Structure 1
Amino acid sequence: MSPAVIALGSNLGDREANLRGAIAALDAIEGVTVTAASGIVESNAVKPEGSDAAAPDYLNAVALVQSELPPQYLLDELNRIEAAFGRVREEPWGDRTLDLDIVAFGSLASDSARLTLPHPRAWERPFVIVPWLQVDPDALIPGVGRIAALDAATSSEVWPFDAAALFEGATR
């Protein structure tokens, strides 16, 4: 089993229900166990040009998992879950019902056309770092360092979203 960090985001449809359903779907993957999930945070959409206040706001969270699957197979499962929630890939960085990213997979570093680990922009994204700190205050990004020391950890670009816990504990 390898520890992995999964970032979740949604800015279309019932955003909270999308995140809740994604956590349940992650935990249902054979060989994957969700061990923790952050609270939900809200943020403006981010486009290649920067923050886009005209686009629907995102709800974001982070899940910690243990995976028997290699990262490429875990990515296949994340893409399957996204599709089940109506994710359409028409525009890079476009609005979406569900976005699931592998942020880190143990201490693995890789750079392929399909998957770069750790996620190449996670360290600068408050909507990833702030919820990640909630579930692992001592977390490190391989090659970057402690996430608590990053500028994104104290950003005002995300704000709390009042919701019940996404994950209460192991279901199997």
Structure 2
Amino acid sequence: MTRAVLSIGSNLGDRLGHLRSVVEALGERVIAVSPVYTTAPWGGVDQDDYLNAVVVAQDSDFDDYAWLRFGQQLEQASGRVREIRWGARTLDVDIVQCTDGTGTPIARDTDPDLILPHPQAHNRAFVLTPWLAVEPSAQLLVDGVTHPIADLLTELDQSEKDGVIRTDLVLRDESARSC
């Protein structure tokens, strides 16, 4: 069994619909869904603002590569095209962190297709802010040392944090879920 923290974002087409498609595809695997935030694009490419969120999920049949394939399939289904690094996209699904059945973070730094934890997550308020909203005590492995994500967020430049704005949008209707 693995547990994955997925950062999802979209700035093309039906942005909210693309994010909701991830939650719908995960179904019963979903443990938590963050609020939706609007953020300026990251990376210097001129484009529209993003909608971002974090989804925490687990699956007894998934390993870290299964989460990668799952995310890539959802990106392809949304029509994502990879033309420009940090460019606009219909859907981006990043594995921020993956833990094994004991809760130990899976660390990979030699496979260019899957580096875990995500190598830039600790520098991105659009990842840490939504994650903190659903898991206030979460920790992230950075350069071999575990840090509370609240501390990592505190260390970021204020302008980075100010650019992550909570919206009233939701990715799933909690009232529709059965108890």
Normalising by structure 2, report the TM-score.
0.84
Equivalent residues of 1:5, 1:64 under 8 A apart: yes
The Cα shift of 1:164 comes to 3.0
Q: Deviations over 1:124-154 (max 9, x none)?
A: 1010000000110000002340000123497
**Partner Cα distance (1:64, 1:35) in 2:** 5
1:10 aligns with 2:10: yes
Aligned match for 2:53, one of 45, 57, 61: 61
Structure 2 counterpart of 1:83:
76
Question: Which residue of 2 is the match for residue 40 of structure 1?
Answer: 36
- Number of paired residues? 163
Q: Is the 8 A contact 1:8 1:61 kept in 2?
A: yes
Partner AA of 1:147 in structure 2: I
Alignment match of 1:158 (pick from 160, 164, 176): 164
Structure richer in strand, relative to its length: 1
Runs of at least 5 residues in structure 2 that lack an aligned partner in the other structure:
100-104
Deviation per CA, 1:49-68, whole angstroms, max 9, x where unpaired?
4xx5x410000000001123
Q: Which amino acid aligns with 1:20?
A: R
Partner of residue 106, structure 2: 108
Q: Secondary structure at the match of 1:103?
A: strand
After the TM superposition, which segments of 4 or more aligned residues of structure 1 sit over 6 Å from their partners?
none
- CA RMSD in angstroms comes to 2.0
Which of 84-93 and 148-157 deviates more?
148-157
* Equivalent position SS for 1:166: coil
Gaps of 5+ in 1: none
Q: Which residue of 1 aligns with 2:102?
A: none
Q: Tell me, yes or no, if the aligned pair for 1:11 and 1:95 is still in contact at 8 Å.
A: yes
Distance, in Å, in 1 between the alignment partners of 2:157 and 2:134 is 13
Could you tell me which residue of structure 1 aligns to residue 26 of structure 2? Answer: 26
Contact 1:23 1:167 in 2 (8 A): no
Letter in 1 for 2:6: I
* Matching of residue 96 in structure 1 with residue 95 in structure 2: no
